[in-house]
A and B are shown apart, each in its own frame.
Chain A
Amino acid sequence: QKEVEQNSGPLSVPEGAIASLNCTYSDRGSQSFFWYRQYSGKSPELIMSIYSNGDKEDGRFTAQLNKASQYVSLLIRDSQPSDSATYLCAVTGKRGTALIFGKGTTLSVSS
């Protein structure tokens, strides 16, 4: 069964620190990788996508992918209290299949 695993947290970091969120996946054929942010009581919002090995940066967010290790991570630099949310890792296999989501990591940024 295809699975996506995340540490549920909570991960607590002080304001201004780097938050590091990790995700592993079981399907070696997975091709597309996403990070969604979900505030309490709201629906998930896409914040990052990555498709090839290496790093992808977008503002304060950096996604990292290592297909050999089946590992995806999200780094949030200069964390802000507004970053406090649950971060969902999502993975899709072959073209046209639905995303499989992890259960999410709850991040708390204290001011």
Chain B
Amino acid sequence: GAGVSQSPSNKVTEKGKDVELRCDPISGHTALYWYRQSLGQGLEFLIYFQGNSAPDKSGLPSDRFSAERTGGSVSTLTIQRTQQEDSAVYLCASGDNLGLYGYTFGSGTRLTVV
């Protein structure tokens, strides 16, 4: 696609429910990243996929968070048993050449846990 596409753009969920956030990167980009941004805060790295290599999961805040990337393209971030502190904007980005030339971000998914 022309840009990084994320869905849904907004998600309101009840505490304790599971949610899935989707990211469709720019075609041909081998690197895919998930970040989250809480209100008034910077970007917090969550997970990084590069080609067929094992993902870098070092930023995942707890075992309630997981992500997969199918066929080297679309990625899904899953949050199980959501908590209010999970409320944030979840941003996906993709890049080529290991992301050495910077990333392009999607428009994000605003998650609100009530």
Q: Which residues of A contact B (CB under 8 A)?
A: 32, 34, 42-46, 49, 88, 90, 92, 95-104
Residue tally, chain B, CB below 8 Å to A? 22
| CB atoms of B105 and A43 under 8 A apart | yes
| CB atoms of B103 and A99 under 8 A apart | yes
- How many residue pairs between the two chains, A and B, have CB atoms under 8 Å in the bound complex? 50
Once bound together, how far apart are the Cα atoms of A80 and B98, in whole Å? Answer: 34
| CB atoms of A44 and B105 under 8 A apart | yes
What 10 A-B pairs come out closest when comparing CB atoms?
A: A103-B42, A101-B43, A43-B105, A98-B48, A46-B102, A96-B98, A98-B45, A34-B102, A101-B42, A44-B105
Once bound together, how far apart are the Cα atoms of A45 and B101, in whole Å? Answer: 13
| CB atoms of A88 and B50 under 8 A apart | no
| CB atoms of B100 and A95 under 8 A apart | yes
Once bound together, how far apart are the Cα atoms of A43 and B101, in whole Å? Answer: 18
Once bound together, how far apart are the Cα atoms of A36 and B107, in whole Å? Answer: 14
| CB atoms of A88 and B104 under 8 A apart | no
Once bound together, how far apart are the Cα atoms of A104 and B35, in whole Å? Answer: 15
CB contact between A103 and one of B33, B35, B41, B98 (< 8 Å): that residue: B41
CB contact between A43 and one of B41, B91, B98 (< 8 Å): that residue: B91
CB contact between A98 and one of B56, B91, B106 (< 8 Å): that residue: B56
Once bound together, how far apart are the Cα atoms of A104 and B42, in whole Å? Answer: 7
List residues of chain B with CB within 8 A of the CB of A32.
Answer: 100, 102
Once bound together, how far apart are the Cα atoms of A103 and B42, in whole Å? Answer: 4
Task: Specify which of B41, B59, B99 lies most central, judged by the most chain A CB atoms within 10 Å of its CB.
Answer: B99
List residues of chain B with CB within 8 A of the CB of A102.
Answer: 42
B25 in the interface (beta carbon within 8 A): no
Once bound together, how far apart are the Cα atoms of A97 and B95, in whole Å? Answer: 12
Minimal beta-carbon separation of B46 from chain A (angstroms): 9
